[in-house]
């Protein structure tokens, strides 16, 4: 394998947003297991837990007034609510807004759902508990009833899974047991105030931040004093109280068998509470009998994985997150997903019977899977931020100084910054370089919440005046002028050379433009839930959520063939003449010969026999590309791997990530990068690499709650 000159940059500084709410959607008849992650910038991320936690897409708020704080799934519909008082339902395929309404009572502080009756309970600022019904076609929300009105805001809600008449509401100093049929409070539990020397009256209000309820009408509460309490909702009595945390308990989640509870909060510790049955033995002269006494809730283990506040927890069955290697006894395993102020998703492998300690299975950062935020073409690269983009020029290598250190003849330079209008959020970008005899120009396509925008940048050399020209219209197939901004909800943009522009929308429509005259050639209707595509001079390949890869002819835009469906979705595509390389969420690789309409010989002989350690790496592949020497570059957030064609694969149990001697192996792994965001090939001997080092991630986070450690 030859050596490469690497242009390594740390200039990209994405803004980290904390996690506010998590909700998982599970449907037993499909592989569509989506985790909705709501962040503090009011964006919603959709992670596919079935496909090894692949980030499928991000839903941006469409206007500045839309500020959701809560998220949940009602069947296949995504529901959000927030302090703006809006209750919004999204389309299950395109994730565009279906319907919305303003809740009576002002800002929404809490949400709860009842799956059987398709109803949603809303807790508001003014103390109202309102119940809304979503129509069968999800065309509108209708106010079904208003359960009760309290003097303080309703901070938390929990609904009985089967008994739709039993609703629990948490407020300040009190827990209310409500009857939805009688429309009143039938039980009131006084939690009480805390002693506080800082308060003039010597007492401090207790806020009930989170609630959970079991089928036997046992209620769990987490409050601002750091306590997790177990209540008998029928009699309104306290069963058990645990001082689980040193600060507010903000979230909790209950397992499906209602035997395990996890809670966490400001002190970032996740505590497990279990229902156990203590046994007492009575011994006689002839026999020994065992008597089961009443089951009790006890505190068992603590998990110290987060560094900052934990805002949301959820439990999912382990088989949804399993990868290529099969697990045994999956019914005894769970996946605990947590997120908070440190902006990362943590996934722990949990055993139901607590026979093994929890294992941190995966750390998920959203910036490591943003495929359309960084773009490089020629001597320029593009960085995408929340509401603006930056065009940079690549530095030039200037040799080695006397100390053996590399020096730059020309440092990277920020050429231009383009901001969106009306604080619109950027979804995706693309760029191409068009060269002429006298000048070269950069064409940038940017998709934001207002639509598609095209810019032509000229005068990039030092002697010329920089000029940015927006292209606002295009000609459709009937030669009628249309606005680019009318094309909305964009998922991906791609240029082919400098002659064609392709735009994929959330409705699975692929727009094909000619950039010479900015004319629309064709709109291709792709398969539903199409997420990404790749373009070459002869072909167009699209991939959807369900493992389908479809190939179109670039000349006629007709379907040429479709690859065999895989269990996992395709996460990266790359063309090399008449060959198409595909990477799937379980890290399997295939190469398809389009002319022969079958898998290539390299796939059948070698790629299907990759070492098992290749599949043990849990980061999905985010990029693929070929070089001119039949080398396939594979990029994930941790490793840059180069696979050579024509060589025999190492053994099944070969340690490819741990080995230092990779001379004879066709798989070469580069481990010197951390949090790889983007890798492209500048030439046959040069690579352009964008990485985000872990120390810069930690610097973006706010101060955490101080922990007292031994010896400090």
Q: What is the pTM of this model?
A: 0.92
Q: What integer is the mean pLDDT of 105-113? A: 93
Q: What integer is the mean pLDDT of 601-621? A: 90
Task: Give me the phi and psi of 344, to 5 degrees please.
Answer: -125, 150
Whole-number Å distance between alpha carbons of 231 and 640: 53
Contact (Cβ atoms closer than 8 angstroms) between residue 473 and residue 483? yes
pLDDT exceeds 60 at position 285: no
Q: What integer is the mean pLDDT of 215-243? A: 94
Whole-number Å distance between alpha carbons of 309 and 20: 10
pLDDT at 318: 79
SS3 615: helix
pLDDT exceeds 60 at position 329: no
Q: Which one-letter DSSP state was computed for residue 495?
A: E
pLDDT at 546: 93
Residue pLDDT, tens place only, 551-576: 999 999 999 999 999 999 999 999 99
Confidence of residue 287 (pLDDT cuts 50, 70, 90): very low
Q: What integer is the mean pLDDT of 480-508? A: 94
Higher pLDDT, 176 or 618: 176
DSSP secondary structure, 538-600, as one string: SEEEEEETTS-EEEEETTT--EEEEPPPPSS-EEEEEEETTEEEEEETTS-EEEEETTTTEE-
pLDDT exceeds 80 at position 322: no
Q: What integer is the mean pLDDT of 455-475? A: 89
Whole-number Å distance between alpha carbons of 528 and 657: 37
Contact (Cβ atoms closer than 8 angstroms) between residue 94 and residue 116? no
pLDDT at 26: 79
Ranking 104-118, 309-323, 641-655 by mean pLDDT, the lowest is 309-323
pLDDT at 49: 92
Whole-number Å distance between alpha carbons of 23 and 36: 5
Residue pLDDT, tens place only, 330-357: 567 899 999 999 999 999 999 888 878 8
Handedness of CA 460, 463, 465, 471 (dihedral sign): negative
Pairing assessment for the beta strands 97-102 and 279-283 based on DSSP bridges: unpaired
Maximum mean pLDDT: which of 284-288, 436-440, 526-530: 526-530
% the chain with pLDDT above 90: 64
Domain ranges of the chain: 16-270
Higher pLDDT, 192 or 679: 679
Q: Six-digit token pair at 267? A: 């002190």
pLDDT exceeds 60 at position 112: yes
Q: What integer is the mean pLDDT of 316-329? A: 54
pLDDT at 403: 66
Whole-number Å distance between alpha carbons of 582 and 591: 6
Bridge partner residues of 592 (DSSP): 580, 599
pLDDT at 573: 96
pLDDT at 189: 94
User: What are the C-alpha distances in Å from 452 to residues 207, 423, 426, 428?
Assistant: 45, 15, 10, 9
Pairing assessment for the beta strands 686-691 and 5-9 based on DSSP bridges: parallel
pLDDT at 288: 41
Whole-number Å distance between alpha carbons of 629 and 644: 9
Q: What integer is the mean pLDDT of 571-598? A: 95
Ranking 81-85, 135-139, 587-591 by mean pLDDT, the lowest is 135-139
pLDDT at 435: 85
User: What are the C-alpha distances in Å from 439 to residues 130, 185, 353, 434, 466?
Assistant: 64, 75, 69, 9, 12
Whole-number Å distance between alpha carbons of 159 and 688: 53
Q: Give the mean pLDDT of the chain.
A: 88
pLDDT at 531: 96
Confidence of residue 202 (pLDDT cuts 50, 70, 90): low
Ranking 200-204, 642-646, 656-660 by mean pLDDT, the lowest is 200-204
- The burial class, CB within 10 Å (0-12 / 13-18 / 19+), for 164 is middle
Residue pLDDT, tens place only, 359-408: 999 999 999 998 889 999 988 999 999 999 999 998 777 666 666 666 66
Confidence of residue 618 (pLDDT cuts 50, 70, 90): confident
Which homologous superfamily does the CATH classification assign to the domain defined by 16-270?
YVTN repeat-like/Quinoprotein amine dehydrogenase (2.130.10.10)
Higher pLDDT, 520 or 409: 520
pLDDT exceeds 50 at position 324: no
pLDDT at 292: 46
pLDDT exceeds 80 at position 298: yes
pLDDT exceeds 50 at position 282: no
Q: How far is CA 81 from the centre of its chain?
A: 19
């Amino acid at each position: 394998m030859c050596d490469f000159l690497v242009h390594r940059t740390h200039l990209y500084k994405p803004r980290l947003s904390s996690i506010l709410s998590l909700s998982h959607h599970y449907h037993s008849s499909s592989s569509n297991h989506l985790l909705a992650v709501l962040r503090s910038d009011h964006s919603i991320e959709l992670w596919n837990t079935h496909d090894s936690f692949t980030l499928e897409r991000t839903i941006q708020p469409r206007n500045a007034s839309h500020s959701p704080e809560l998220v949940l799934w009602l069947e296949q519909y995504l529901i959000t609510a927030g302090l703006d008082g809006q209750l919004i339902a999204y389309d299950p395929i395109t994730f565009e807004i279906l319907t919305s309404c303003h809740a009576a009572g002002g800002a929404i502080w809490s949400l709860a759902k009842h799956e059987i009756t398709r109803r949603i309970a809303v807790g508001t600022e003014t103390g109202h508990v309102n119940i809304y019904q979503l129509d069968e076609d999800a065309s509108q929300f209708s106010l079904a009833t208003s359960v009760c009105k309290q003097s303080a805001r309703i901070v938390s809600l929990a609904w009985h899974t089967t008994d739709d008449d039993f609703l629990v509401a948490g407020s300040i100093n009190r827990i209310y047991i409500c009857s939805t049929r009688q429309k009143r409070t039938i039980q009131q539990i006084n939690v009480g105030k805390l002693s506080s020397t800082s308060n003039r009256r010597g007492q401090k209000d207790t806020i009930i931040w989170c609630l959970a309820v079991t089928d036997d009408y046992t209620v769990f509460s987490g409050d601002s004093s750091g306590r997790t309490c177990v209540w008998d909702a029928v009699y309104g009595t306290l069963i058990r109280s645990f001082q689980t945390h040193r600060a507010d308990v903000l979230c909790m989640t209950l397992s499906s068998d209602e035997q395990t509870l996890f809670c966490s909060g400001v002190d970032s510790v996740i505590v497990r509470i279990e229902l156990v049955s203590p046994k007492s033995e009575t011994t006689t002269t002839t026999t020994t009998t065992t008597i089961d006494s009443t089951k009790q809730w006890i505190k068992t283990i603590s998990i110290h994985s987060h560094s900052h506040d934990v805002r949301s927890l959820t439990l999912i069955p382990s088989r949804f997150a399993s990868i290529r290697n099969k697990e045994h006894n999956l019914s005894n395993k769970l996946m605990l997903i947590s997120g908070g102020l440190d902006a990362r998703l943590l996934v722990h492998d949990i055993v139901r019977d607590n026979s093994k300690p929890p294992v941190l299975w995966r750390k998920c950062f959203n910036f490591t899977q943003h495929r359309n935020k960084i773009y490089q073409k020629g001597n320029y690269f593009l960085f995408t931020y929340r509401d603006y983009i930056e065009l940079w020029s690549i530095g030039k290598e200037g040799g080695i100084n006397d100390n053996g250190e590399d020096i730059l003849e020309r440092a990277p330079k920020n050429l231009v910054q383009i901001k969106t209008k009306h604080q619109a959020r950027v979804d995706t970008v693309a760029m191409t370089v068009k060269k002429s005899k006298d000048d070269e120009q950069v064409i940038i396509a940017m998709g934001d919440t207002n639509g598609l925008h095209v810019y032509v940048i000229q005068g990039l050399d030092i002697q010329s005046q920089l000029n940015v020209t927006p292209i606002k219209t295009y000609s459709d197939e009937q030669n009628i002028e249309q606005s680019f901004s009318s094309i909305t909800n964009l998922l991906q943009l791609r240029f082919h050379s400098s002659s064609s522009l392709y735009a994929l929308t959330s409705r699975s429509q692929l727009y094909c433009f000619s950039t010479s005259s900015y004319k629309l050639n064709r709109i291709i209707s792709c398969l539903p839930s199409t997420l990404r595509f790749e373009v070459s001079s002869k072909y167009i390949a699209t991939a959807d959520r369900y493992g389908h890869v479809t190939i179109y002819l670039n000349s006629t835009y007709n379907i040429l063939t479709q690859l065999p469906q895989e269990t996992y979705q395709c996460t990266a595509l790359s063309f090399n003449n008449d060959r198409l390389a595909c990477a799937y969420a379980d890290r399997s690789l295939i190469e398809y010969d389009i002319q022969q309409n079958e898998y290539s010989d390299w796939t059948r002989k070698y790629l299907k026999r990759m070492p098992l350690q290749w599949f043990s790496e849990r980061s999905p592949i985010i990029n693929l590309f070929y070089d001119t020497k039949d080398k396939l570059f594979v990029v994930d957030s941790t490793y840059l791997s180069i696979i050579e064609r024509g060589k025999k694969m190492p053994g099944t149990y070969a340690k490819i990530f741990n080995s230092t001697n990779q001379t004879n192996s066709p798989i070469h792994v580069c481990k010197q990068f951390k949090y790889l965001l983007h890798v492209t090939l500048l030439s046959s001997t040069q690579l352009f690499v964008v990485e985000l080092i872990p120390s810069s991630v930690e610097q973006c986070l706010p101060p955490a709650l101080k922990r007292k450690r031994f010896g400090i």
